Amino acid sequence: MSLTYNSPGMIPSQAGQNGQTLATRTVVTKASDLAGILDSTIEYYIDGIIDMGTQTIEVPSTGLNLRGGSFDISQLISSEDNYTMFVSPVGGSGNVLGQDYSITTSGTNSKVYDLTDATGFNAFEFSRVNYNGCTSLGDIYNYRQGLETGTGRFGGSPSLTLHGTWVGGFRITTSIVRSMSDTTTEPLFKAGTAFQMNSRFLTDINCDLGTLQPFCDFTTAMFPNPSTVQIQGALFSRDGVFDANDVNIFSNLLASNLACDWTNNLGISNTFVGGSTQCDLEVLTEIVTQNAPLPIAGTFGASDLQHFDSPANGQLRHIGIKPIEYICLHNFVLEGTANNDYKISLVKVSGGTPTIVRSYTRPINNLSGGRDVAFYTGTTSAILNQNEYVFWEVSNESGTGDCTLELDSNWQVRER
């Protein structure tokens, strides 16, 4: 297979079996090679360290493709003040795709990006791209989706601000953050004007933050769908120290928030979907008819609700979407008529229709001291889709004797 040089500034491309030449790369050796109107059908290959000075790179509405040999040997740098490296023309930009190079914009008030999506359906995607000593990563407006794989942020205060509605989400994976500024208070990911993420923001980042620096300032209102702030298998430290109680890492989010799905992380809290409730005040359940179930009476206090709420006394409702498989554990002490059999049942309500998940029948023991009780301890499983809820009911299978659930009797729902 032969190598053909197509024109000055072009690198050799391989001739295919049909003899045609593939001319899809152009070599960038100086800032002016990235000036003017760029060709979206060409991959611009960064050959060496290119000092951009004040020269900006305009990303056309049809997109831009950049590649280098590695983030060590291929670099775009500028130390100019008030400089922006990548900008949009009037009407906006298309896809921005890059891999295997590094970027530095270290001047005062300088940044890497100021890009607006031309259609709202383009991608902002990078692989093995490092940001070294950047004052800011800048602003991205209304892109459909973002993807970073194997990227790095080293030194400076590389805050990236996301504006507008992102339909397809943002994922940053297998990425690392080190040597951040200890004076910056700007988060690595910042919510900009009218920011909303309609899909997920997902990361497994290995991140060591500066002394005053948050990871992000997102709020739950910016994520309308449950479980879409997905922090999974990530490491967060500050100045080399892990502290899961550090409230400044996620200044506006908690692991328990409905928008959050945080699992297997080090240095932050994790999400444990479920909830608990216990009897805080004993109330008599009045039995009128034998074998006729009634909700167990009492005043119940709900606690540790994560993606669950308690819409009514004694109920636990799943308000999230993930997971749907749950374990239900109970530990009840029921006082009633000696030698009567009482049945308790876990009831699931879906769309207003109740179904019994599981029932347990026990006789009331005639214990010494006049305390006649039965003990119910067990575990069962249930499928709980969004807005389905569970509660407990009781019936006297032997007569019409009343019963009372004793103080501190409790039950919980937790993911399997």
pLDDT, tens digit (0-9, with 9 covering 90-100), for 60-90: 999 999 999 999 999 999 999 999 999 999 9
User: Which pLDDT does position 4 carry in this prediction?
Assistant: 38
Q: Which residue has the higher pLDDT, 371 or 142?
A: 142
Q: What is the pLDDT of residues 200-233, one digit of tens each?
A: 999 999 999 999 999 999 999 999 999 999 999 9
Could you read off the pLDDT of 135-186 as tens digits, one per residue? 999 999 999 999 999 999 999 999 999 999 999 999 999 999 999 999 999 9
Can you tell me whether residue 221 is helix, strand or coil? helix
The maximal CA–CA distance of the chain, rounded, in angstroms, is: 102
- Give the pLDDT band (50/70/90) at residue 21: very low
Backbone angles phi, psi at 33, to 5 degrees: -70, -15
What is the average pLDDT across 365-382?
A: 88
pLDDT at 12 over 50: no
The pLDDT score that the predictor gives to residue 369 is: 66
Quick one: tokens of 295?
């909700």
Q: Residue 124 half-sphere exposure, CB side, CA atoms within 13 Å?
A: 30
Say what the pLDDT of residue 13 is.
43
Which range scores top for mean pLDDT: 4-18, 45-59, 366-380? 45-59
CA distance 77 to 297: 70
Closest Cα partner for 158 from 103, 205, 201? Answer: 103
User: What's the pTM?
Assistant: 0.89
pLDDT of 100 higher than 50: yes
Residue 14 has pLDDT above 80, yes or no: no
pLDDT at residue 220 in the model: 97
Phi-psi region of 174 (alpha: psi -120 to 50; beta: other; left: phi over 0): left
Q: What is the pLDDT, as a whole number, of residue 7? A: 41
Q: What's the pLDDT at 366?
A: 82
According to the model, what pLDDT value does residue 210 have?
98
Q: d(Cα 346, Cα 350) in Å, to the nearest integer?
A: 13
* Type of residue at 77: I
Is it true that domain 274-415 has CATH number 2.60.120.40? yes
The pLDDT, as a whole number, for residue 276 is 97
Across the chain, mean pLDDT equals: 94
β pairing state of 372-383 and 389-396: unpaired
Strand partners, 175: none
- Answer whether 52's CB lies under 8 Å from 76's CB: yes
pLDDT at 109 over 70: yes
Q: Is residue 16 predicted with pLDDT exceeding 90? A: no
pLDDT exceeding 90 applies to what percent of the chain? 93
pLDDT at 368: 62
CA distance linking residue 123 with residue 133, whole number of Å: 25
Rg of the chain (C-alpha set) = 30
Q: Give the residue from 155, 143, 47 showing the smallest Cα distance to 86.
A: 143
Instruction: State the pLDDT at residue 8.
Output: 39
Q: CA 378, CA 18: separation in Å to the nearest integer?
A: 72
* Residue recorded with tokens 């611009």: 44
Residues 389-406: tens digit of each pLDDT: 999 999 999 999 999 999
Per the document, the length of the chain is 416
Using alpha carbons, select from 57, 166, 65, 31 the residue that is nearest to residue 111. 57
What pLDDT was estimated at residue 300?
Answer: 98
Distance (Å, whole) CA 180 – CA 246? 17
When pLDDT is cut at 50, 70 and 90, the band that residue 51 belongs to is very high
**What six digits make up the tokens of 361?**
């029948």
Residue 2 has pLDDT above 50, yes or no: no
C-alpha 217/C-alpha 252 separation (Å) is 6
Please tell me the distance from the alpha carbon of residue 362 to that of residue 339, in angstroms, as a whole number: 9
**Percent share of the chain, pLDDT over 70:** 94
Rounded to 5°, angle at Cα 169 from 163 and 173: 110
